[in-house]
Amino acid sequence: MTTTTDVLIIGAGPTGLYAAYYAGFRGHRVALVDSLPELGGQITAMYPEKQILDVAGFPSVKGRDLVEGLVAQAATAKPDYFLDRTARDLVEDADGVTVTLDDGTEIRAGAVIITAGIGKFSPRPLPAGEGWLGRGLEFFVPSFAPYAGKDVVIVGGGDSAFDWALHLEPVAASVTLVHRRDAFRAHERTVEEVKASRARIITKAEVTALNGGEHVESVDITVDGETTTHPCQAVVAALGFIADLGPIQQWGIEVEKRHIVVDTTMRTNLSRVFAAGDITEYPGKVRLIAVGFGEAATAVNNATVAIDPTAKVFPGHSSEGS
């Protein structure tokens, strides 16, 4: 099967959804590919309940609400969605770009915008948790309700670990955060909020065993060689992710430390291939959703000129419509 479009967007997270809307605003036909089965990228997969604080105009917005708004906004472009499918091959020629998906579908586009975030991702395993996934051990917290009244142990010291500790503390019977070091990667303000809550923080420690029958009932925590057993009905392993750009690395695009190198127009070293969002790299890059939105608009406007050299980069403001 072969389909044609003006702009093909690879990645259906916040940046990709906004790029779809903006491409529609520029009058383009839009197609959007994502390896996940749902729209919203990492937010939908991992953080739908998380409060996001750095999107302009929203002092605080829940992840699922932000995605819902972006999906509604993107719908104005009437995009063709290809979900649960991976872009396998990309070939650029003088007239456009052909992308082949893992199911054999070919998409012919005037330009491609890659908004794939960190690429395909898988959670780092908890060594002591082998065999316990779904039996009390989870890597993500898409909903807080299942943790109500439970003793929860969270393993990790990054933003996810502290965010989940902060949000689960009001609903869980207890929350214990275990980290192998006494320094944390999480945002300082969130760390202070967790420290001021009922949650317990144990540092220079490891979860060395999960105990129970069909479901976890306790965990062993080892500190300085001494092991103690703690009641626990839920373990969240927030140890980060193993990211993989996958086939993107074989497309002839310049990549630096798992990120795509772009210029000020968001163009890669391929003339019709652009990128936006967390996947990009350039001097001074800041990885925020808010930055991704701006990069998406920049990429779409410059892709427009790549498709039609007579077009203007800046089309005017959306509020200037008749």
Could you report the per-residue pLDDT of 168-222, keeping only the tens digit for each? Answer: 999 999 999 999 999 999 989 999 999 999 999 999 999 999 999 999 999 999 9
Q: Which of 122, 115, 123 is nearest to 8 (CA)?
A: 115
H or E element at residue 175: strand 174-178
Does the pTM exceed 0.75?
yes
Instruction: Give residues with Cβ within 8 angstroms of 254, minimum separation 6.
Output: 260, 261, 268, 269
Predicted local distance difference test score (pLDDT) of residue 322 = 42
Q: Is 84 annotated as a binding residue?
A: no
DSSP string, 25-74: HTT--EEEEESSSSTTHHHHHH-TTPEE--STT-SSEEHHHHHHHHHHHH
Whether 142 shows a pLDDT value over 90: the answer reads: no
Residue range 263-311, pLDDT digits in tens: 999 999 999 999 999 999 999 999 999 999 999 999 999 999 999 999 9
pLDDT bin (cut points 50, 70, 90) of residue 320 is low
Q: Is 319 annotated as a binding residue?
A: yes
Q: Is 241 annotated as a binding residue?
A: no
* 135: helix, strand or coil: coil
Q: Is 42 annotated as a binding residue?
A: yes
Predicted local distance difference test score (pLDDT) of residue 309 = 94
Predicted local distance difference test score (pLDDT) of residue 302 = 98
Least confidently predicted of 55-64, 168-177, 227-236:
55-64
In the numeric block, the tokens 């316990």 are attached to 132
Domains and CATH numbers, the chain: 2-121+241-320 (3.50.50.60), 125-237 (3.50.50.60)
Separation of alpha carbons 198 and 200, rounded Å: 6
Instruction: Give residues with Cβ within 8 angstroms of 167, minimum separation 6.
Output: 49, 50, 51, 141, 144
Q: Is 73 annotated as a binding residue?
A: no
Residue bearing the bigger pLDDT, 302 or 241: 302
| CB-based contact 257:179 (threshold 8 Å) | no
Mean of all residue pLDDT scores within the chain: 93
Q: Is 65 annotated as a binding residue?
A: no
Tokens for 283, please give them: 């001097």
DSSP string, 225-287: TEEEEEE-SEEEE---EEEE-GGGGGTT--EETTEEE--TTSB-SSTTEEE-STTEE-TT---
